Amino acid sequence: MNVVGRQMQRSSSTGGHHQRQYSDNFIDTAFNNKWLRSVGLHHLHSSNSSIPPLQDFGFFGANGGGQGSKWGKNGQRGVNGGGGDEDPSSPTASSRSSSMRKNGNGVEVLPGELSPGLLDLHSFDTELIPEFPSQNDGYLLNQPLCGRSFDDSGPCISAKYSKNPRGLSDNDLLKSFSADKEKANNVAKIKVVVRKRPLNKKEIAKKEEDIITIDPNANSLTVYETKLKVDLTEYVEKHEFLFDAVMNEEVSNDEVYAETVEPIVPIIFQRTKATCFAYGQTGNGKTYTMQPLPLKASQDILKSMQNNYRNQGFQLFVSFFEIYGGKVFDLLNDRNKLCMREDGKQQVCIVGLQEYKVSTVETVRELIEKGNATRSTGTTGANEESSRSHAILQLAIKRKVDDNDSKPARLVGKLSFIDLAGSERGADTTDNDKQTRMEGAEINKSLLALKECIRALDNDQGHIPFRGSKLTEVLRDSFVGDSRTVMISCVSPNSGSCEHTLNTLRYADRVKSLSKGNSSKREPLSTLNLRSSTPVALSSISQVVSGSEDNVFGGLQNQELSKLGWPKQQERESSLSSNIERVPSSQAQSNLAATVHIENHKQFGPSIDRVPSGRAQWSSLVHTNEDNFDGSKGISDHASWSINPKLDSHQLRNIDDKTGNVKYGDPSELEPSSLIAEDDLTALLKEEGDLINAHRKQVEETMEIVKEEMSLLVEVHEPGNQLDDYISRLNAILSQKAAGILQLQNRLVEFQKHLKDHEVFLFPSGH
């Protein structure tokens, strides 16, 4: 995030390349005013207020070499490890802490209010489970009002709090809770929005064209890619995308907030975890977009606490850390190096991360600025002050236990803001120094791991490789369980960034596909999101970009949406479903797999012998290496026997309880109607064949992507680093996938032949 330091540096850049420095006295009041104005909170400007700026938060990272903080107060640039002009040994950690403690004028960052130093990133599965205290403790949590799960939990109002001496009436509180609950139900699980930034001075000077048009009413975005034919004549290929919201260069940060985070804020009080992250190429506006969001969200949360949830014992905590070079650093505690640990329940904890209890927006602002000033930045080819780390700011809503200040408050909900480091293509890194390239490689590695997870989730794979990187470990709870995720894809409009832009949009498209729910999996990627790529005549582009979008979007009808409309997920899904070919879910497949009766099944060896679970059965047809990067399991899941829609899996179960094998059936014992007709069998086989083909196509696409990523990694990596290992693992995936597909195909042919040779029956229950 480029907050204070970065902006100041911009105004007085020395033009040095990729140097890092410590920050000191980072709060510049003039800048603050400007910054607050940009986020609509300028009334909080502290230059004339009684609140002094936080002082003295210099660099105290555990690994001083090679990474540093943002820019210093006066825009002076220092370096660390490489002959910097600031003294990294100045104030001690303790002096910093004490300065925090002294900072008392209304700023409620008190030592006693620090958290115990352990943030459980997944505590929703543990701490957030509704409490069930005794009948006498005054809580209503064990009453029918509050269900066991988040979804069915109602308002959890403390009877003690509900005495509400100076707040709202119980009735009003209940109304607030119900209103928030209703809002929660309307908020999509994953929302993907795209923001286009304006052309910058450099791009204008180079006379670069704006190649993106946006129709906010239709939530569509079109990229016009100029291509060359073999005879070197130019043509324009049109790529259309639909997202939950698309925002053009005129959209303000306030509008971005209203579209993305504002709807989520109320549901944080409803025991929900939510994550908002920005993704995109370096220099596309991620930091610009993310920067104001936490402050505005805090403002709304505090407002809710004071109004809707007055005297309910809610408290707001802030923590801020970064992942740099695969390591985690506390941005609010002298850049202390932190450890991530997994407990027995595979819950990830960040040991030692400090949280600050806050009760004013001003304090939040100071903490955010402190963290931003400490964050690692560098210079890339595309962005002079690029964020070289993933920065994660978390707002945790907690609640006092028994109205007791001595007991640690319990987590209720959490809102995480993640400003991902900018992705760079290897080809763009040629003019970067070694460290920048190393950083780029590390960043790409974590973004690649993120993609792997998204793909795995997308494919309904049982095993999601969250451990592929620190970033994915942190993001794990954004994607699983009761959570909400907002992804803001930032794109630049210039023709020179076309390839990056398309990559970013395709990535966003894939994340979007995650939100389709479990039942409608899984169509080939190319048909997702109604994306199309249509060549158009070059002459039409100028007309398009100059604004006559109606002609271009001829096929897209104006939908009944607000300017930045956020259609309900269901609506979008149902509109999609009519356009896509459905493939049965692997769960349904597995049910049916357990019902297939195979005569002389031993011919198929041990894999068919072990029939009890459909998944297990087919998983064993191909190699199942339980490696993080195992791709074959995905193949096996999808290669399961496809369901015949005419058959109910409950009616079909007929497995030998002792052996687990599917029972043989005597056709004569069956009602004629329960036998599968030859036509049905043929249809079933065809469906299976189609499924395999569809899946093979998807795997081939995946292989292409992996290959591409690998070439990228090879370009940017240094020999001998951990990426070697990573690349060889990717190689292993590729060969595993290829072998898996081949084996699967052979099995299928063999199996189909076998089904023909031996009669196959599907048994209704009771036989």
Ligand X SMILES: Nc1ncnc2c1ncn2[C@@H]1O[C@H](COP(=O)(O)OP(=O)(O)OP(=O)(O)O)[C@@H](O)[C@H]1O
Instruction: Give the contacts of 497 (CB within 8 A, at least 6 positions apart).
Output: 281, 284, 491
Residue 280 among known ligand-binding residues: yes
- Residue from 26, 241, 288, 507 in contact with ligand X (CB under 6 A): 288
Binding-site size, ligand X (CB under 6 A): 20
Say if residues 58 and 90 touch (Cβ distance below 8 Å): yes
Q: What distances in angstroms separate CA 548 from CA 448, 531, 538, 544, 551, one per listed residue?
A: 38, 21, 15, 5, 6
Site for ligand X contains 298 (CB under 6 A): no
In 187-237, alpha helices (H): 201-205
Say if residues 321 and 62 touch (Cβ distance below 8 Å): no
Site for ligand X contains 20 (CB under 6 A): no
Residue 501 among known ligand-binding residues: no
In the complex with ligand X, the residue whose CB is nearer, 419 or 482, is: 419
Site for ligand X contains 284 (CB under 6 A): yes
Site for ligand X contains 286 (CB under 6 A): yes
Site for ligand X contains 379 (CB under 6 A): no
In the complex with ligand X, the residue whose CB is nearer, 424 or 637, is: 424
In the complex with ligand X, the residue whose CB is nearer, 282 or 469, is: 282
Distance CA 277, CA 390 (A): 10
Distance CA 640, CA 590 (A): 6
Site for ligand X contains 436 (CB under 6 A): no
In degrees, rounded to 5, the angle at the alpha carbon of residue 549 between the alpha carbons of residues 544 and 553 is 110
Task: Work out how close the CB of 644 gets to ligand X at its nearest, in angstroms, rounded to a whole number.
Answer: 49
Instruction: Give the contacts of 212 (CB within 8 A, at least 6 positions apart).
Output: 196, 221, 222, 223, 224, 491, 493, 501
Phi, psi of 306 (to 5 degrees): -80, -30
In the complex with ligand X, the residue whose CB is nearer, 257 or 317, is: 257
Stretch that binds ligand X, among 140-148, 285-293, 691-699, 743-751 (CB under 6 A): 285-293
Three-state secondary-structure class, residue 419: strand
Task: Work out how close the CB of 200 gets to ligand X at its nearest, in angstroms, rounded to a whole number.
Answer: 6
Task: Work out how close the CB of 522 gets to ligand X at its nearest, in angstroms, rounded to a whole number.
Answer: 31
Site for ligand X contains 372 (CB under 6 A): no
Residue 281 among known ligand-binding residues: yes
Q: Smallest Cα–Cα separation from 439: which of 451, 427, 449, 429? A: 429
Site for ligand X contains 282 (CB under 6 A): yes
Residue list 591-610, contact with ligand X (CB under 6 A): none
Instruction: Give the contacts of 673 (CB within 8 A, at least 6 positions apart).
Output: none
| β-strand pairing of 348-351 with 483-491 | unpaired
- Residue from 386, 444, 446, 469 in contact with ligand X (CB under 6 A): 386
Site for ligand X contains 58 (CB under 6 A): no
- Residue from 490, 681, 691, 760 in contact with ligand X (CB under 6 A): 490
Distance CA 105, CA 54 (A): 11
Residue 436 among known ligand-binding residues: no
Q: What residues are paired with 238 via a beta bridge? A: 224, 534
Q: What residues are paired with 322 via a beta bridge? A: 329, 391
Q: What distances in angstroms separate CA 187 from CA 143, 218, 482, 559, one per listed residue?
A: 26, 19, 12, 19
In the complex with ligand X, the residue whose CB is nearer, 197 or 638, is: 197
In degrees, rounded to 5, the angle at the alpha carbon of residue 192 between the alpha carbons of residues 187 and 193 is 105
- Residue from 222, 275, 354, 380 in contact with ligand X (CB under 6 A): 380
In the complex with ligand X, the residue whose CB is nearer, 220 or 289, is: 289
Site for ligand X contains 494 (CB under 6 A): no
- Residue from 52, 198, 612, 689 in contact with ligand X (CB under 6 A): 198
Distance CA 319, CA 503 (A): 32
Distance CA 451, CA 457 (A): 10
Phi, psi of 722 (to 5 degrees): -65, -15
Residue 9 among known ligand-binding residues: no
Task: Work out how close the CB of 490 gets to ligand X at its nearest, in angstroms, rounded to a whole number.
Answer: 6
Stretch that binds ligand X, among 100-108, 168-176, 279-287, 647-655 (CB under 6 A): 279-287
Three-state secondary-structure class, residue 169: coil
Site for ligand X contains 287 (CB under 6 A): yes
In the complex with ligand X, the residue whose CB is nearer, 261 or 490, is: 490
Residue 186 among known ligand-binding residues: no
Site for ligand X contains 71 (CB under 6 A): no
Stretch that binds ligand X, among 138-146, 181-189, 275-283, 647-655 (CB under 6 A): 275-283
Binding site residues, ligand X, CB under 6 A? 2, 197-198, 200, 249, 280, 282-288, 380, 383, 386-387, 421-422, 490
Q: Which residues are annotated as a binding site?
A: 280-287
Q: Which residues are annotated as a binding site for ATP?
A: 280-287
